[in-house]
Structure 1
Amino acid sequence: MGAGLSPGHEDPIWLQQPTIALSISKPLTSEMESGSRTEKINQFLQKLGLEAVNTCLDLNNCGLTTAHVQEIAALLPFLADLEKLDISWNDSVGGNLHSITQQMHLVSKLKILRLGGCSLTTDDVRALGEALKMIPELEELNLSWNSEVGGNLPMIFQKFQEGSKIQKLELVDCALTLEDGVFVGQLIPMLPDLEVLDLSINRNIGGILNIIAQGLKSASNLKVLNLHSCGLSQKSVQILDAAFRYMCELRKLDLSSNKELGGGFEDSPAQLATLEHLEVLDLHQCSLTVEDVVSLTQVIPLLSNLQELDLSANKKMGSSSENLLSRLRFLPALKILLINNCALESEAFNALAEASIHLHALQIFNLSWNKCVGGNLKLLLETLKLSTSLQVLRLSSCSLVTEDIILLASIIQRGHLASLQKLDLSYNDSICEKGWAVFCQSVWLLKELTELDISLRPSALQACGRWFRDLLCAVTKLPKITEIGMRRWILPVSQQEELNHQRGIHFDHGGFQ
């Protein structure tokens, strides 16, 4: 919800794993004493809500205990066809992984192993390294958010043979050392099928990027390269650019939250423009300079398959991005455009508005924290009328005025924005009661809407006007609405009680004053 929105990254692609509550009262051995062992195993797994487990055992974030880990290990001999094992985000796995790795040779068909956030110890890492040689079919390995992986990476992969089938390797926030980085550079050529490499939130990567980049020259099948918050510097851009020519299949490039990267694009990164299959380019919070923007103006419009572009939180772009934003019209496949908190000036916003008319596939549009939008929303009139695919529109802290919100209401009244699911109008405190009234009388037409945020700034308090009843009336006509942000709006007690009768809808009010 936008009430607490920071001007940072919009992330549309997270998948939520279901949580399974475990309730085991008897040891596995006693459960199996009579009858078919296989039948008893199936009965045991059904308790976990895992009826179809013959190829997949997903216990992600289940609050497993040490006893549970041991019982899972006891199951493995009877799961010879297991292809996926996910026990991520269970702290009790740490210090006890050996009980599972000792049985790993019995699940030699395993293709996916996820151990993210398991509090792994050095002994666990050592045991895992011994076990990996027992699962030659492994295609995906996730060790993210385990700090003890750092400094011990060679111990994990020392048994890997050239020609490994690994396609996806995730090592996010593993406290990787410079020595680990050197090892990664040497490991990549041994993974000919590698498609996804995520080294994000490892600050030492930037210091050894030249060796990793040499390894990337062998990664001809790589489709995703994530280097978010890796301590990259200006020199990193040129180092990576030299490797891009070998990564012709790359679909996603994430260089975000590397604040020292600014200035690195000044010498036009020619090879970046050759990534003809690139669909996602994330450069948010990279301290892009005026010169960077000039160079990127020559490159980004050539990425004709680009579907997601994140330039948010680069405040120096505001006065220099007019040419770049005007050329976004050459990206017809663009679905996600995040340009929030870029301090856009009026000329840049005008250019963006004109270009956005040509972005017919746009689904997510984030302009939050750009004050120049206020009083100028009319410039987006044609875009909002033509954007039949738009699902998320964020205009938080844009200094919107009453005329802007009335214009938005008129667009809704004409039947436009019919696909809109999330609308963020928070932190726009200059809209008067009339504006909110007109908007609330129209919002019921957005039948796909699930989230609406009209919260006030943290420093503001304001009494709800008569329009609040219009909002409550609209809510009854919105079949999919689940969340309404109304922080710092003051309601009389009688109206607060009315909220209690709105079943299935969470009114995020932050406590009525």
Structure 2
Amino acid sequence: MSADSLKDEIQNSQDKHEEDIPRSSPFDFVIKQFQGKRSSLGKRKEQPSDIKKFFRSFDFGKSEGKDRNEIEETELNNSGSDDQIEKQDLSVEDGLSHLISEVESPSGEQRFNQFMQKLGKDASSKNLDLNNCALSAADVTELASLLPFLPELEEISLSWNSCVGGTLKALTVHLHHVNQLKVLRLNSCRLTAEDVTSLDTALQHLPQLRKLDISCNKEIGGGFKDSTAHLASLKNLEVLDLHQCCVTEEDVANLSQVIPLLSSLQELNLSSNKNIGVSSEPLLGRLRFLPKLKSVAISNCGLGEASLSSLAEAALHLPELEILDLSWNKCVGGNLKLLLGALKLATKIQVLRLSSCNLVAEDLALLTLLRQDGHLAQLQKLDLSYNNNASDEGWVVFCQGLAGFKELSELDVSLRPSSCRDCGTWFSDLLAALTKLPALADLGMQRWVLSESQRKRLECFNQDNKRNIRFDC
């Protein structure tokens, strides 16, 4: 082979080798750029539109025949697709964040336990006792948010927390979550009339409520004007305590329509509401429709003779009566005979309170005559304190008949704090009666002045008679 032919063969071989090596083009460069971008975005899949955007600034000779509006529309569509992808990515991220937040946040039970621990109280799923805990308005709001997690709650006690007043609505709007509630105590919480209106709205969700105590809230007067409709729905209510609530005459009118409908009511406390006695509405007379009543407290209600007569007539229809409190109603003095018929029929009565009623000798004699006739046989507690107008003769008659009260465990004949009086001849009759009262454990005789010999007899009584009576002298 000649040198020239050998040179030609080598050249041909080199040319063939170069043809076998793939050559890079501008398009290959673009593809590599977008492949890098894809890897940096993780799972996001690039769209062909990304490549088209790169060439959008170049003119390949085909754009001249294309309408500009069509190009702009395509750009908008492509942009919309990208935005949609970004939104989907954000949606996924938000979902994950929300899921993580739910996992990390405490459960309702944990929140409740933390709340009770903060107040130094034991957590109970059935009894929420926060009496006198100096709750703040924020605490009441937080407590309200926890009620949906306490479906088994049976008792709520928030008494003696003044900040509850004015913020009760935040709590009552959630009471439907605790429809098994049986006891609700809100006494001395500085409730307002508006608060009472909002407790009323919630009552329709508490069919199992047995006890409602909103006593000692002096600013709720007038709150019963339009807020007693749902009170009548509490067919299982057994205890209603409204003492010292400054109810108005209009409140009395509304309550006189509703209270007689509480067919299961056993205890009613209306004490320290002066308008109960002076109102023309027959609230006390309508108690006759509550035959299950066991306790009636209308102390310090400004009763007059007419209202006392209404009560006496109603009491004739209360065969289950065990407790009657008429203290601090001056009209009772000299008029106890109006209750004679009711006291004769009250075979189950155990507590009779007639403190500061201006009792006279005739009233004391009436009590002993009732017992001699076989009535008041179950009487255990008799309060005759602060009746300074009763004469010594009246106390003599009473003490002579006292031995008949065999079940009596507490007796109080103390005088008013501002007075003192010598213990008369009835003292000997009193000691003689005490020997025949085996159940007596407490005798109140404050501000009765005992002579030296009387004091010694009293001091030796327990030892001589093997008794353990507490003498409060």
TM-score with structure 2 length normalisation?
Answer: 0.73
Q: Give SS of 1:317's match.
A: helix
Are 2:211 and 1:211 aligned?
no
| Residue number among 132, 146, 159 corresponding to 1:173 in the alignment | 132
Shift of 1:142: 12
Q: 1 CA distance for matches of 2:266 and 2:412?
A: 26
**Which structure ranks higher in relative contact order (CA pairs < 8 Å, sequence separation ≥ 6)?**
1
Per-residue CA distance 1:391-436 (angstroms, 9 max, x = gap): 1100000001111111111111112111111100011111112111
1:102-141 deviations in whole A, cap 9, x for unaligned?
xxxxxxxxxxxxxxxxxxxxxxxxxxx99x859x9x9xx9
Residue 474 of structure 1: CA displacement? Answer: 0.3
Q: By how many angstroms is 1:156 displaced?
A: 8.1
CA contact (8 A) 1:142 1:170 kept: no
1:232 and 2:196 matched: no
Q: Could you tell me which runs of 5 or more consecutive residues in structure 1 were left unpaired when the two chains were aligned.
A: 1-128, 144-148
Aligned residue in 2 for 1:375:
334
Matched, 1:488 2:447: yes
Q: 1:420 corresponds to which residue?
A: 379
After TM superposition, list the pairs within 5 Å mapping 1:77-226 onto structure 2. Answer: 152=118, 166-226=125-185
Q: Secondary structure at the match of 1:230?
A: coil
The superposition leaves residues 6-28 of structure 1 with CA deviations (integer Å, 9 ceiling, x where unpaired) of xxxxxxxxxxxxxxxxxxxxxxx
Residue 469 of structure 2 is aligned to residue 505 of structure 1: yes
In 2, distance between residues paired with 1:337 and 1:142? 38
Partner SS state of residue 259, structure 1: coil
Distance 2:318 2:252 in 1: 21
Alignment partner, residue 388 of structure 2 = 429
Q: Deviations over 1:169-190 (max 9, x none)?
A: 1000111111111111111111
Alignment partner for residue 348 of structure 1, among 307, 313, 317?
307
SS in 1 for 2:200: helix
| Cα distance in 2 for residues equivalent to 1:414 and 1:264 | 46
User: In the alignment, what sits opposite 1:279?
Assistant: 238
CA drift of 1:207 comes to: 2.1
2:170 is paired with a residue of what secondary structure? helix
**Helix, strand or coil: the match of 2:419?**
coil
Match of 1:257? 216
Contact 1:221 1:249 in 2 (8 A): yes
Q: How many residues align?
A: 362
8 A Cα contact 1:176 1:204, kept in partner: yes
Amino acid aligned to 2:428? R
Q: How far does residue 316 in structure 1 lie from its aligned partner after superposition?
A: 2.4
Aligned partner of 2:31 in structure 1 is none
| CA–CA distance in structure 1, aligned partners of residues 284 and 196 of structure 2 | 22
Which residue type is aligned with residue 249 of structure 2? V
Superposed structure 1 runs of 4+ greater than 3 Å apart: none
CA contact (8 A) 1:142 1:169 kept: no
Q: Take 1:357 and 1:263, find their aligned partners in 2: how far apart are those partners?
A: 31
Q: What letter is aligned with 1:486? A: M
CA RMSD of aligned residues (A): 2.3
Q: Is the 8 A contact 1:322 1:349 kept in 2?
A: no
Q: Which amino acid aligns with 2:442?
A: E
C-alpha displacement at 1:230, in angstroms? Answer: 1.2
* Aligned equivalent of 1:451: 410
Change over 3 Å in CA distance of 1:156–1:226 after alignment to 2: closer
Per the TM alignment, residue 231 of structure 1 is displaced from its structure 2 partner at its CA by 1.6
Structure 1 position 342, deviation (Å): 0.8
Q: For the residues of structure 2 that align with 1:441 and 1:413, how far apart are their CA atoms?
A: 11
- Alignment-derived partner of residue 478 in structure 1: 437
Contact 1:276–1:303 at 8 Å: present in 2 too? yes
SS at match of 2:226: coil
Q: Answer yes or no: is the 8 Å Cα contact 1:227–1:256 preserved in 2.
A: yes
Distance 1:311 1:321, change over 3 A: farther
Do structure 1's residue 411 and structure 2's residue 370 form an aligned pair? yes
Relative to structure 1, the CA distance from residue 142 to residue 441 in structure 2 (aligned partners, 3 Å threshold; closer, same or farther) is farther
- Aligned pairs for 1:303-322 within 5 A: 303-320=262-279
How far apart are 1:287 and its partner, in Å? 0.6
1:326 corresponds to 2:290: no
SS of 2:208's equivalent in the other structure is: coil
Give the whole-Å Cα distance in 2 for the aligned partners of 1:267 and 1:372.
32
For 1:431, give the aligned amino acid: A
Counterpart of 1:498, as a letter, is: R
1:312-371 Cα distance to aligned partner (Å, 9 max, x none):
111222201650000000111111111101111111111011111111111111100000
Report the secondary structure of 2:443's partner residue: strand
CA–CA separation in structure 1 for the residues paired with 2:141 and 2:288:
41
CA distance in 2, matches of 1:460, 1:201: 34
Instruction: Measure, in 1, the Cα distance between the counterparts of 2:121 and 2:408.
Output: 47
CA distance in 1, matches of 2:420, 2:454: 17
Other structure's SS at 1:200 match: coil
**In 2, are the aligned partners of 1:371 and 1:398 still within 8 Å (CA)?**
yes
**Deviations 1:466-512, CA, capped at 9 Å, x for gaps:** 11111100000000101111111122111111111221112111xxx
Letter in 2 for 1:288: V
1:461 to 2:425 alignment: no
In 2, distance between residues paired with 1:432 and 1:479? 27
Secondary structure in 2 matching 1:269: coil
1:322/1:348 contact within 8 Å kept: no
Question: 2:404 and 2:367 mapped to 1: Cα distance?
Answer: 12
Deviation at 1:268, TM superposition (A): 4.8
> What displacement does 1:236 show?
1.3
What SS is found at the alignment partner of 1:192?
A: coil
- State how far apart, in whole Å, the 2-side matches of 1:400 and 1:434 are: 13
Change (3 A) 1:282 1:321: farther
- Distance of 1:470 and 1:342 partners within structure 2: 34
* TM, length-normalised to structure 1: 0.68
| Equivalent residues of 1:293, 1:324 under 8 A apart | yes
1:445-467 deviation digits (Å, cap 9, x = unpaired): 11110110111111222112211
More helix by share: 2
Distance 2:222 2:440 in 1: 44
- The structure having more radius of gyration, on CA atoms, is 2
